[in-house]
Chains A and B, each alone.
Chain A
Amino acid sequence: MAPSSASRAGSASPLLDDDDGAATVVTTDGSDTPVGEGDAVTGVIGVPDNVPLPEAVVTLNVNGRDYRVNVTANMSLLEALRQRLGLTGSKLGCDRSECSACTVIVDGVAMNSCSLLAIREQGKQIVTIEGLERDGVLSPVQEGFVQHMGLQCGFCTPGQIMQATALLQQNPAPDEAQVRRAMSGNLCKCSAYPNILSAIRYASEHWNA
């Protein structure tokens, strides 16, 4: 992406420190000027660099807070989260719904954020990996992945954790076949699968503890 996007992502971090818990309406650089206004967006696959893209300011509810975000029409939810909001926990893997490293929970359902258009996700409750930990305490799934080392390189881990969280929210005590089926879209090239199963078993046992 354009270097400007990277610096924007950096500038977004102060708002994440705001811990009052109330929904706050902010722009991503803390000013009243929506981010990206007038910025040329380059490097978007499928669109020539010289064509200006329609832009819009949308309100995304991420991890319980409303953010006003300036997005281009072709921007995926993942790009909006990573480049506009600085929430870089969700990872860009294949960008084609093939690996599920970008999994986020939208209205309680796990979805691939790389294949959702940000502009269409207004008014939905989006939860990313950054929204799982509460007051410094890891969620049971996160704790399970740490305890059982359900990762090697860690790139797919945010997606795996979000997928497992969505599964346990619907079914806190899944059997192994159900876990395998629910997790079957998440690719781990390091293949830490046995430990991922253990981690989810741990999370299931500690789900309401």
Chain B
Amino acid sequence: MTIEDAVDVVVVVVDDVARPAEGTIVGSARAADFEGVSQKTFGAGFYEVEVDPATGFVRVIEAVQVHDVGRAINPMGVINQIHGGVMHGINKALTEELIYDPPTGVVVNPNLDEYKLHMIDGMPERVQVDFVEPYDVVGPYGAKGVGEPALLPASPAIHAAIYDAVGVYVNRQPMTQAAVLRAIAEL
């Protein structure tokens, strides 16, 4: 499933979030089509990362994300959902993976020790989220969903940000240290 299939997301990655000028566009925005279902939802994410070329460790230092949520019924909850989406996206991009033993198919990391999720110290130093509220003609009270869309921008943006930092695309998710170092080695 590509990003475009799931939701239309414009991801712009720039080296300095404060001046979004040049960047790489992954995916594209399309006009919504009405087929009796909710309108498509839009969002954009901006991520800045630090890559340690010695260890392959990637740290997200800043995340900015904006979403079209229809009408925000509980604005605080919407912000909370987007915060969650940012961290879920970072987890998905960098650490979160169910690992199977190839010969037996047994999951070898069925615990929170080996199945890595970021905790509060893995949160970017700066997280800014916001939303816009165009009324949705289909959704209840004009609302759209924001739970899932919010976690999509992080992965492609971090992917491209790593390229911007070290000059390689890591063709694997999660982009673990091993994957980053392998990609650098194949440069």
Contact = CB atoms under 8 A, between A and B. Distances in A.
Q: In the complex, A touching B, CB below 8 Å?
A: yes
Contact of B83 (A98, A179, A187, A193): A193
A94 interface: yes
A124 interface: no
Interface stretch (A69-77, A134-142, A194-202): A194-202
Contact of A194 (B112, B113, B123): B123
Contact of B123 (A98, A186, A187, A193): A193
Contacts of B84: 152, 190-192
Contacts, number: 63
A33 interface: no
Interface in A35-60: none
Nearest to A149: B76
A193 B81 CA distance: 11
Interface stretch (B99-107, B114-122, B158-166, B179-187): B114-122
A115 to B, nearest CB: 13
A136 to B, nearest CB: 24
A122 interface: no
Contacts of B120: 179-180, 183-184, 186, 188, 193, 196-197
A179 B118 CA distance: 15
Given A96-B113, A187-B112, A149 B80 contact: yes
Interface in B120-134: 120-121, 123, 127
Contact of A94 (B79, B83, B86, B111): B111
Interface in B27-76: 76
A196 B87 CA distance: 13
B88 interface: yes
Contact of B86 (A184, A187, A188, A191): A191
Contact of A98 (B77, B81, B111): B111
Contacts of B117: 187, 189
B70 to A, nearest CB: 19
Nearest to B129: A194
Which of B84, B88, B91: most chain A Cβ within 10 A?
B84
11 contacts: A94-B112, A98-B111, A98-B112, A187-B117, A187-B119, A191-B83, A191-B86, A193-B87, A193-B119, A193-B123, A196-B120
Q: Which 5 A-B pairs have the closest CB atoms?
A: A191-B87, A98-B112, A184-B121, A191-B84, A193-B123
Interface of B: 76-77, 79-81, 83-84, 86-88, 91, 111-113, 117-121, 123, 127
Interface of A: 93-94, 96, 98-99, 149, 152, 179-181, 183-197
